[in-house]
Amino acid sequence: TAGITQAPTSQILAAGRSMTLRCTQDMRHNAMYWYRQDLGLGLRLIHYSNTAGTTGKGEVPDGYSVSRANTDDFPLTLASAVPSQTSVYFCASSLRPPGLAVYNEQFFGPGTRLTVL
């Protein structure tokens, strides 16, 4: 079982360019999440999706957009990248939406390291 896959593994991007980070899960999980991790700041939630067709904003959504056209895929798009978006991006999924179940472990992907110059 692959679990969660993310692509690319790493990327260097020129400021002002757009980019889509891909995330795919094969666990048929309802909820998916995007986090960014910066040195000294821990992980912060960017956007989430409780189920296919719905999305919501997390703690740091500005400059990012997401879509959830189906259960398996949850791409994260940077429309016009800026250097402050240099970070490691983690995609995660859970069987149920947050807050609706006691046992609702989040499974994380391996991450995408993005550098915006």
Partner 1 sequence: DAKTTQPNSMESNEEEPVHLPCNHSTISGTDYIHWYRQLPSQGPEYVIHGLTSNVNNRMASLAIAEDRKSSTLILHRATLRDAAVYYCILRAMNYGGSQGNLIFGKGTKLSVKP
Q: Which of 19, 25, 34, 48 lies at the binding interface for partner 1 (CB under 8 A)?
A: 48
Q: How far is the CB of 40 from partner 1 (least distance, A)?
A: 7
> Beta 19-25 vs 87-94: how paired, if at all?
unpaired
- Distances 80 to 38, 61, 85 between C-alpha atoms, Å: 19, 14, 10
Q: How far apart are CA 15 and CA 98, in angstroms?
A: 34
**Residue 108 binds partner 1 (CB under 8 A):** yes
Which x/- pattern, by CB under 8 A, does the window 49-88 give for partner 1?
A: -x-----xxxx-----------------------------
CA-angle at 37, arms to 68 and 81, nearest 5°: 65
CA 66 to chain centre: 8
**Residue 41 binds partner 1 (CB under 8 A):** yes
Positions in the binding site for partner 1 (CB under 8 A): 4, 33, 35, 40-45, 48, 50, 56-59, 90, 92, 97-100, 102-111
